[in-house]
C-alpha cells in the first residue's frame, strides 16, 4: 500500500507507523527523522531564512518546502509501498506530492490538544533502537534501556505550543484537502495504542 499518516504533533504517527511497516512490509518515510539526522546540514544556498534545518525545528517552525520536498522525492523514488509520516504539512507540499505518487489512503489520527501536550512532554526515545516510549503510558521494562532514554530537543513546553499552532494553521487545511478528495480515513487516535492499531489495520485492509 501507499499511505499517508497525518496527525498533530504527538498524535502517534511514529508509534503506529512502526506497526504498519512491520505488518505490511513497506518503507517508513519520515521527514522528521530525516531532518533530525541532518539538523546541521548547510541549506543556505537555497536562500532560506536560517542556515540549517535544526534552527527551524528547535523553534517548532516548518523547514522550507524545497528542502523537505527533495527528501521525499528521493525516498519515494526508492520505495514500492510506503507510509509517509510528517509530510505533507502544508498545501504547497500536498500539491508537490501529487506530482510524485498516487495514494491509497490518508490516515488521520484524531487526538485532543490536552492529550497531545501530555504525550509530548512525557515522550522518551531510545537512541540505540529509535523505539518510542512514554514515562507513564509506555515505560520500558528493561532498566538498562530506561537509563539511556533521551528527550527530543523540540519537546519543551514552548516549542510544543508553537508546533501545535503551526499544525492548526498549516496542516489542518491539508487534512480538509484529503477529505475533499475522498482519501481521508479518520481514526480515533485517543484510544490505547493497540486499539488505534486494530482500527488502522482494518482501515488499511479495506482501502487497498
Which residues are documented as binding site? 10-15, 31, 36, 61-63, 86-89, 93, 123, 132-133, 152, 163, 191
Q: x/- string (CB under 6 A) for ligand AP5, residues 39-58?
A: -----------------xx-
Cell numbers for 173, please give them.
487545511
Catalytic entry in 2, 152, 186, 201: 152
Q: Rounded distance, CA 189 to CA 200, Å?
A: 10
- Is 123 one of the catalytic residues? yes
For the bound state, the minimum distance from the C-beta of residue 50 to ligand AP5, rounded and expressed in Å, comes to 11
Instruction: Supply angle C-alpha 72, 76, 79, rounded to 5.
Output: 145
- Is 13 one of the catalytic residues? yes
- Is 152 one of the catalytic residues? yes
Q: Please give the helix or strand (H or E) that residue 186 lies within, else none.
A: strand 184-188
Distances (CA, A) of 145 to 102, 133, 200: 39, 10, 28
Strands across the sheet with 184-188, in order?
27-30, 82-85, 2-7, 105-110, 184-188
Q: x/- string (CB under 6 A) for ligand AP5, residues 160-199?
A: ---x----------------------------xx--x---
Q: Which is nearer to Zn ion, 51 or 149 (CB)?
A: 149
7 near Zn ion, rule: CB under 5 A:
no
Active-site residues, by number, are: 13, 89, 123, 152, 163
Amino acid at each position: 500500500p501507499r499511505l499517508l499518516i497525518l496527525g498533530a504533533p504527538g498524535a502517534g504517527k511514529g508509534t503506529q507507523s512502526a506497526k504498519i511497516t512491520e505488518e505490511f512490509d513497506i518503507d517508513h518515510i519520515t521527514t522528521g527523522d530525516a531532518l533530525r539526522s541532518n539538523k546541521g546540514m548547510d541549506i543556505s544556498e537555497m536562500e532560506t531564512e536560517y542556515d540549517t534545518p535544526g534552527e527551524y525545528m528547535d523553534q517548532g517552525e516548518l523547514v522550507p518546502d524545497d528542502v523537505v520536498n527533495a527528501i521525499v522525492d528521493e525516498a519515494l523514488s526508492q520505495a514500492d509501498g510506503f507510509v509517509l509520516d510528517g509530510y505533507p504539512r502544508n498545501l504547497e507540499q500536498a500539491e508537490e506530492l501529487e506530482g510524485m505518487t498516487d495514494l491509497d489512503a490518508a490516515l488521520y489520527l484524531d487526538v485532543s490538544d490536552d492529550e497531545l501536550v501530555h504525550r509530548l512532554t512525557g515522550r522518551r526515545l531510545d537512541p540505540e533502537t529509535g523505539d518510542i516510549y512514554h514515562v507513564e503510558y509506555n515505560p520500558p521494562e528493561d532498566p538498562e534501556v530506561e537509563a539511556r532514554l533521551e528527550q527530543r530537543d523540540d519537546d519543551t513546553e514552548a516549542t510544543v505550543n508553537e508546533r501545535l499552532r503551526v499544525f492548526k494553521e498549516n496542516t489542518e487545511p491539508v487534512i480538509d484537502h484529503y477529505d475533499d478528495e475522498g482519501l481521508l480515513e479518520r481514526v480515533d487516535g485517543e484510544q490505547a495504542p493497540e486499539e488505534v492499531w486494530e482500527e488502522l489495520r482494518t482501515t488499511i485492509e479495506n482501502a487497498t
